[in-house]
Structure 1
Amino acid sequence: MDPNATLPPGTRRQPRYDLYTATHRALRLFMTETLARVGRLDVNDRHELTTALNEVDALLRLARLHLAHENQYVHAAIEACQPGATQAIGEEHVEQIETMDGLHAEAQALANLPTTPAALRLYQHLVRFVAESFDHMLAEETELNPLLWSHYRDEQLLEIEQRIADATTPTDRALLLRWLVPAITPIERAWRFAQLQRQLKTADFDAALVTAQSVLDARAWNKLKWALGLNAVA
């Protein structure tokens, strides 16, 4: 049944605050671009090899951090209201950590002995990891989000997100922002930067804008500047 069906004609409920989807969009973009980089890797080009493996390392670090934060903050909130609801997803988290340990070891081996078969092996295992991660994240968005919405108000969900942000180092926040900015819609981007503008010191907010400009095309960058009132052409 449409949850808006009982509202007066012409009105719609505002969407609930979503703890999952924006971060998952960032991770999906990071995963697919890293996968493509490894897939076209020239193992005889040391600079290209180093760049690709550094990106794999950063992806695995951010993915591990994301799982840890989900376990500590999001799953804990769900379990407090509905014990056992996150068990299956939590077991998948354990499997994902094991997979990432294997990918890290393969990346290290490729760095030490760069061969085409080793690069192909890393690529194929990364393909499987990305495919399984996509299914996993979609399950969280469609199965766990409704549980959060049924037990928590949007203000409480924002508090959970703030606790996650407070537990993230500036380096990892910058890494997430670099992939989040191009992965979300212009409206979401404007809202998040408006939040940052209120929360951050001027120098830190300016640094976030520099990141945004570096990863957005001209049209998307102008939309963001216009939304923030930064003298851009609409």
Structure 2
Amino acid sequence: MKIDPKEMTELMAAQATPRLDIYVGIHKALRACMADALLSAGRMDPDDENDVAQVSQRVLALLDFCAAHLQHENEFIHTAIEARAPGGSAAVTHEHQEHEQTITELREMVAELNGRPGTARASAALDLYRRLALFVAHNFQHMHTEETALSAVLWSRYTDAELESIHQALVSSIPPDELMREVRWIVPFMNPAERTAMLSDMQRHAPAPAFAAVIDMVRPHLKDPEWLKLARSLALPPVPGLVGYQ
């Protein structure tokens, strides 16, 4: 199936009511994590052992995040598309293969950077930064295609209830430690309504200790006004000393 951009745009515009968007939360997380890693790589001091080590870990964590995300989409989202729109995910699947190759190359570049003596790291650091920038740039374009063209394919062939079932199956397949790492990037970079929707559902269905662990993890990454909105919407206990919580 060939994706016709004009047809997809018209189909999306024809939606009478907002549809379930299975891409929005995880893609906001990926964009935030990518930006964080890229900016860190750009300001890294190649002569500082600790700085190189810390930035390398950030980049490697991003690459792990991206690799896992590709696997999840291939297994669940693309499978769903191919089941009802054969060939509908072909172009994006090809880009996934390119991203997998680039992830391998970037890991090798991180190893190369760390294997050089301090005085010879500057060129490797700049090479890593530039290659990572291209990877991020292509991913931003790639995610836009998924959020528009592929969303339109899914919406035209699945109900929201069916999409929610696919999404829940995907989330259930993620190991708890990996899921917590994803939530750390998802929740802080959502807008308030998205944040409340996600966490209120978790509040209703997750064990209390698991929900508390998520709240404890994301709280340091929210500005006070963001936290106040979230705390009110979830009826969380007031935070001592935090002005504005009623």
Band of TM-score, shorter chain: over 0.9
Give CA deviations for 1:19-51 in whole Å, capped at 9, x if unaligned: 112111110010011100000001222222111
Match of 2:133 among 127, 132, 148: 127
1:148 correspondence with 2:159: no
- The offset of 1:199, in angstroms, is 2.2
Give CA deviations for 1:200-219 in whole Å, capped at 9, x if unaligned: 11111101001120111111
Match of 1:215 among 196, 201, 221: 221
Paired residue type of 1:52: V
- The offset of 1:198, in angstroms, is 1.8
CA contact (8 A) 1:19 1:161 kept: yes
The corresponding residue for 2:173 is 167
Give CA deviations for 1:5-30 in whole Å, capped at 9, x if unaligned: xxxxxxxx541110112111110010
CA contact (8 A) 1:212 1:221 kept: no
Match of 1:39 among 24, 37, 42: 42
RMSD: 1.4
Q: Which runs of 5+ in 1 are unaligned?
A: 5-12
Structure 2 Cα separation of the partners of residues 162 and 196 of structure 1: 12
Q: How many residues are aligned here?
A: 226
The corresponding residue for 2:4 is none
- The offset of 1:158, in angstroms, is 1.2
TM-score by length of 1: 0.93
Q: After the TM superposition, which parts of structure 1 deviate over 4 Å for at least 4 consecutive aligned residues? A: none
Matches within 5 A, 1:54-133: 54-113=57-116, 114=118, 115-133=121-139
Match of 1:3 among 1, 7, 14: 14
Give CA deviations for 1:158-190 in whole Å, capped at 9, x if unaligned: 111111111111121111111111211100000
TM-score by length of 2: 0.88
Paired residue type of 1:220: E
- The offset of 1:3, in angstroms, is 3.2
Structure 2 Cα separation of the partners of residues 143 and 14 of structure 1: 18
